[in-house]
Structure 1
Amino acid sequence: MIDLDIDMRQYDCPFIDTTDDVDIAFSAVQWQLDTDDKRLETRLIAKGSSTGTLEAGLHELRDHPNMRECYILSKRDNVAEIGTTIEETNAMRTIQQNGGYITGPFRIEDGREHWHVGFDDDRDEDHALAELERHNEFTVEDRDQVGPTALFDLLENSDSALRLLEGCRSLTETERETFEAASRNGYYETPRETTLDELATHFDISKTAVSMNLRRSERKVLKAALTALEEMDGTQQL
């Protein structure tokens, strides 16, 4: 199986047009493409930079000519879970007609959309990308060709991967930024290429605050990694 990560800009997508004009982002949770009726049903999380921005974005989304239906399932502050039905876009039709399929959730922000697309062989991939180029703007950011053994291993350990992902997502923005800066600057190398003092200067906070942020992020990621390893090994947590 060929798996592509594509940074996509469609010219007939309601979500992309909305994020072009309003500071709002959409992340797909569930989706179903009805090729007979030429429509896509989705459940998404919409997040605006403020409550007012969320309302403005949803209003613009409802008014888009390619939007059939848009309704709120739940809402809190600047985040909402919504259900939508849109007209099939050119890119969706192109992928489907050339033997491709969406393999993962997509995210839309700042007028662009991140897709995970799969193909069974190189010929289908080449035809689809050539046709996509005629009516859309896109960049293939990553390409993996996964064999059946690797794919089976991925599916068999999907729960473990999810645990690790959940651990990473549990980091606060400050913890994540501190952890990333420490890693990028060689804090975990031997010998260390940066110090707590230098990290404190970088973030303009105390050395103690940096240390606490690192310990919290390390604890969360390590706990998630150990849980994932236990599930992979089939062992029970003590």
Structure 2
Amino acid sequence: MALPKYRRVILKLSGEALAGNKGYGIDPEVVASISAQIKEIVSHNVQVAVVVGGGNIWRGVAGSTKGMDRATADYMGMLATIINSLALQDGLAKQDVDSRVQTAIEMREVAEPYIRRRAIRHLEKGRVVIFAAGTGNPYFSTDTTAALRAAEIEAEVILMAKMVNGVYDSDPMKNENARKFDRLTYIDLINRGLAVMDTTATSLCMDNCIPLVVFNLNEKGNIMKAVLGESVGTYIGGDMVG
């Protein structure tokens, strides 16, 4: 059995990924597939934390552009991430994977409050920890949440699950001649304006030397390949050495 390259990881899932082909809401089949893939890497003794977006239900930025107060819109987005996190927890339970949802906004009836040491202890016991409600503050994306939590729990990598198989110089859905990058640096992301994560999140990763692996979630087995350190998607780090 191949040994994992990473022992503690953050898996970043977009809310849209949970919607599948429906485009909105939560597709139980997609949740089941993701849960099965998480189970596979947990069985390799990899400690897994997950950050889920809420774009399949609500986007704070979209609401604010239509006149809604930005802070209010962002708090609504945080609640959407909690809905997604509970759905993922249910999917993991069906795979007999023990998990905990920790929220940055306290709601003890449905989830634990985020406590760094408790989160690390859960990971050490083999439980999957799902971080919900972003950072608990408006104006910060779930990408920033992933970078922040990765630094706090000392994760070795952030696995960015996308709908495309890596990072391109332009949108591959619109440009058939778009060029895919196998490796990039954090500075490349910022200077080229590549839409992998926002600048705040990229800067956090750069400052804390947390590499990123961007890959296609729709291809089953890619999460495992990323954990094993196989060439999948695009690797992003401080230099060109993966």
TM-score range, shorter chain: under 0.3
Bigger fraction of residues in helix: 1
Pick the structure with greater CA Rg.
1
Q: Which structure carries more strand by proportion?
A: 1
